[in-house]
Chain A
Amino acid sequence: MNRPDFVSVQGLKQFFPVQRGLFVNRTVGYVRAVDGVSFGIPRGETLGLVGESGCGKSTTARSMLRLHEPTAGVVRIGDTDVTSLDARKLRQFRSQMQMIFQDSYSSLNPRHTVEYIVSEPLLIRGESPGRRMRDRVQDLLALVGMNPDHIKRYAHEFSGGQRQRIGIARALILNPALIVCDEPISALDVAIQAQVVNLLSRLQEELGLTYLFIAHDLSMVRHISHRIAVMYLGKIMEIATYDELFKTPLHPYTQSLMSAVPIPDPATEKSRARIILKGDLPSPVNPPAGCVFSSRCPFATDICRHREPEPREMSDGHSVACHNIDDPVVGPRITKSREEIVNSLKDARHHGPDRQFR
């Protein structure tokens, strides 16, 4: 936990103007997609970023890499302040930060061969095509578990899992330090998800990569992340190591999110207590006053509706943005429901036969 952060994001904001008007566009408001997000990732670690759709996880990633120009905030990767780079320097620096996208159908050009797709970052950097480049592409394809002889094929000839591997190879070819994985497994079948997640963790061990891993599936995130940040409506509600977060989730939103994740075990799943949230995610154009979660929070009190909670460090590396955690009156109520959740998440292993899949 004391390791220095390799990636550090401070107060990142990304607002998109809402415009009205027939001839002259007037700005009538802002979508506060990312509203003051701060976190750090030590080198070689994975930060999982989870939340429901529309909470700003992807936008956070995109503004971090300056695929959107952030409205405010500072992003540092290594010794470089990414937010202050000019266009030319930024272009050079992009080789250090790569991205893997959710939809491998739209992120791979159907008219290009795998060789061209994977080597394109090198070509953009100005290297000339040839034997050495082809060798490098083939090495990478082998590294991500594909047949290196398939470099002349087109993206449509591959399955979803293989296409995602092509995307990973393309992200790796410039030897980046940071890879942002934007829901890389959401579109895949369970068995294929496991293959891709296993590949990503193997690559991290071998190459010392740093990941920002975005997903809405908490159980998959738990599997790959060292630390996890939970986002809601443009803000980070809670950050903790995966163990802390799953054993003692403090924020009511984290608790309800976790109780909503189905567990593939009928005995546990049918008996455990659920916190079912009422209603839907509020609009980020007009977020609730005070704490953004107050409109759906089962424990919300008056202060929640008036004052925004600051993130507070509860224990080493575990920070929560909630008013009611220390509160002498409301505190016990939250502690109780937390214990309920912990109990309901008790170990319930299924006893499979002794032979193993490798």
Chain B
Amino acid sequence: MNQMQDTGPLLSVRNLAVQFNTVDGIVHAVNGISFDLFRGETLGVVGESGSGKSVSMLSLVRLVPEPPGEVTDGSALFRGTHETVDLLKLSWREMAAVRGRRIGFVFQDPLSSLNPLISVGKQIREVLERHNRARGKAAKRRSIELLALVGIPDPEKRYYSYPHEFSGGMRQRVMIAIAIACDPEVIIADEPTTALDVTIQAQIVDLLVRLKRELGISVIWISHDLGVVAGIADRVLVMYGGTAVETGTAETVYQHPRHPYTVGLLGAVPKLHEHNERLVNIEGRPPSVYSRLEQCPFAPRCPWAFERCTQQRPPLLPTGRDEGHSSACWYDLELNERRPGRST
């Protein structure tokens, strides 16, 4: 791991901002987030709906429809095996060569992401042929191998099946086969198990963890389910109101959350192994997305908020607990005091 880190992160995103220009006004979906993804690690991105977690990750590969979407700021350096590119500056043609080959995707709803009129085998083949990985018989053979690799029984026969002939869990396996077809360096998994039952979810999580280990892929796992992320993520990025509010290793963020939102969110999740009488109520609602964010997005709901929180947006500040753990809060929950510094 350390040796890997010497070469720097595989993907480093700085100050990414995405907005949507709608008839009702400008929706500020992502307000300047920064994070790194290292080789072979899983980054869990958690947040409620509307927190900007999907938009921020999908905008990196321009899967956010433009217009109305628009990346207004930021950079995303992707250090590939050969050269380093800024994903946000690539042309459409260059981006098309990255998508599917170097960055794979798994989406929430496999039924709408797969083409119902084409057999799943052909859909896997399509990716291989599109990126010149294999053609003809070789492509078919490779597709069948991929189906077997993701645990689809009887892959030779299933190669000819159509998406509707598969169950939800099996369809998600097909999606994963497509995602890994060209040996990508990164997989972006956008709520891959949200539509599945828990026992099937366990199967899919198990599969992705195994593939990640065997193939050395880095994974960005977007989820609202803190439990799922706890099981797979090496590091966690907590998002709220289009900003990153806390980031660090999974152990640190879950055991020693230092942002009030993370604290509240963890308290709001019932734990299977303990019976707390009342769950934490985070009063109020997420902030409006129509106004530009000048203050801490969580300030109106935060029991610790003071004047500075409404005047100045806190950047991600190191908590000092361990390397890489930082929280965007003017209040130091560890010392139970306000962080030094003047409000402007």
**A261 contacts which chain B residues (CB < 8 A)?**
198, 227, 272
**B230 contacts which chain A residues (CB < 8 A)?**
262-266, 268-270
B116 interfacial by beta-carbon distance below 8 Å:
no
Q: Which of B226, B228, B280, B333 contacts A357 (CB 8 A)?
A: B280
A303 interfacial by beta-carbon distance below 8 Å:
no
A13 to chain B, nearest CB (A): 24
B49 interfacial by beta-carbon distance below 8 Å:
yes
Q: Are A52 and B197 in contact (CB under 8 A)?
A: yes
Q: Are A350 and B255 in contact (CB under 8 A)?
A: yes
**A356 contacts which chain B residues (CB < 8 A)?**
280, 303
Per-residue interface assignment for chain B, residues 279 to 320, with 1 indicating a CB less than 8 Å from any chain A CB and 0 otherwise: 111110100000000000000000110000000000000000
Q: Which of A190, A219, A270 contacts B271 (CB 8 A)?
A: A219
**A301 contacts which chain B residues (CB < 8 A)?**
none
**How many angstroms between the C-alpha atoms of A256 and B198 in the bound complex?**
10
B170 interfacial by beta-carbon distance below 8 Å:
yes
Q: Are B333 and A353 in contact (CB under 8 A)?
A: yes
B8 interfacial by beta-carbon distance below 8 Å:
no
**A267 contacts which chain B residues (CB < 8 A)?**
251, 255
Contact segment of B14-22, B90-98, B135-143, B260-268: B260-268
Contact segment of A106-114, A133-141, A273-281: A273-281
**A194 contacts which chain B residues (CB < 8 A)?**
267-270, 279-282
- Known: A269-B230, A353-B333, A358-B281. Is A191-B48 also a contact (CB below 8 A)? yes
Q: Which of A217, A219, A260, A270 contacts B199 (CB 8 A)?
A: A260
Q: Are A280 and B303 in contact (CB under 8 A)?
A: no
The chain A residue sitting closest to B197, CB to CB, is A52
**B336 contacts which chain A residues (CB < 8 A)?**
353-355
Per-residue interface assignment for chain A, residues 229 to 250, with 1 indicating a CB less than 8 Å from any chain B CB and 0 otherwise: 0000000000000110010000
Contact segment of A2-10, A63-71, A94-102, A341-349: A341-349
B111 to chain A, nearest CB (A): 14
Q: Which of A197, A218, A274, A349 contacts B279 (CB 8 A)?
A: A197
A189 interfacial by beta-carbon distance below 8 Å:
yes
Contact segment of B25-33, B71-79, B201-209: B201-209
A333 to chain B, nearest CB (A): 20
A80 interfacial by beta-carbon distance below 8 Å:
no
Q: Which of B199, B226, B271 contacts A257 (CB 8 A)?
A: B199
**A223 contacts which chain B residues (CB < 8 A)?**
270, 275-276, 279
**How many angstroms between the C-alpha atoms of A355 and B334 in the bound complex?**
11
A93 to chain B, nearest CB (A): 34
B231 interfacial by beta-carbon distance below 8 Å:
yes
**B268 contacts which chain A residues (CB < 8 A)?**
190-191, 193-194
**How many angstroms between the C-alpha atoms of A268 and B251 in the bound complex?**
10
- Known: A218-B198, A264-B227, A270-B231. Is A348-B273 also a contact (CB below 8 A)? yes
Q: What's the A-B contact tally at a CB cutoff of 8 Å?
A: 168
**How many angstroms between the C-alpha atoms of A218 and B272 in the bound complex?**
7
The chain A residue sitting closest to B251, CB to CB, is A266
Number of interface residues of B (CB under 8 A): 55
A51 to chain B, nearest CB (A): 9
Q: Which of A198, A276, A349 contacts B281 (CB 8 A)?
A: A198
**How many angstroms between the C-alpha atoms of A246 and B275 in the bound complex?**
10
A341 to chain B, nearest CB (A): 10
A159 interfacial by beta-carbon distance below 8 Å:
yes
B167 interfacial by beta-carbon distance below 8 Å:
yes
**B254 contacts which chain A residues (CB < 8 A)?**
264-266, 350
Q: Are B271 and A265 in contact (CB under 8 A)?
A: yes
Q: Are B272 and A345 in contact (CB under 8 A)?
A: yes
B333 to chain A, nearest CB (A): 4
Q: Are B280 and A219 in contact (CB under 8 A)?
A: no
The chain A residue sitting closest to B205, CB to CB, is A262
A288 to chain B, nearest CB (A): 16
* Residues 181-213 (chain A) with a chain B CB within 8 angstroms: 189-191, 193-195, 197-198, 201
A297 to chain B, nearest CB (A): 12
A220 interfacial by beta-carbon distance below 8 Å:
yes
- Known: A194-B280, A357-B267. Is A274-B197 also a contact (CB below 8 A)? no
B184 interfacial by beta-carbon distance below 8 Å:
no
**A220 contacts which chain B residues (CB < 8 A)?**
270
B224 interfacial by beta-carbon distance below 8 Å:
yes
**B333 contacts which chain A residues (CB < 8 A)?**
353, 355
**B82 contacts which chain A residues (CB < 8 A)?**
none
Q: Are B231 and A191 in contact (CB under 8 A)?
A: no
A53 interfacial by beta-carbon distance below 8 Å:
yes
**A131 contacts which chain B residues (CB < 8 A)?**
none
A235 to chain B, nearest CB (A): 16
The chain B residue sitting closest to A224, CB to CB, is B270
The chain B residue sitting closest to A159, CB to CB, is B285
**A347 contacts which chain B residues (CB < 8 A)?**
273-274
Residue numbers of B with Cβ under 8 A of A are 48-49, 167, 169-170, 197-203, 205-206, 224-231, 233, 250-251, 254-257, 263-276, 278-283, 285, 303-304, 333-334, 336
6 nearest A-B pairs in the assembled complex, by CB-CB distance: A262-B227, A194-B279, A194-B268, A260-B202, A269-B231, A264-B226
**10 sample A-B contacts, Cβ–Cβ < 8 Å, listed by A number:** A159-B285, A219-B227, A220-B270, A262-B228, A262-B231, A264-B227, A267-B255, A350-B255, A353-B333, A354-B336
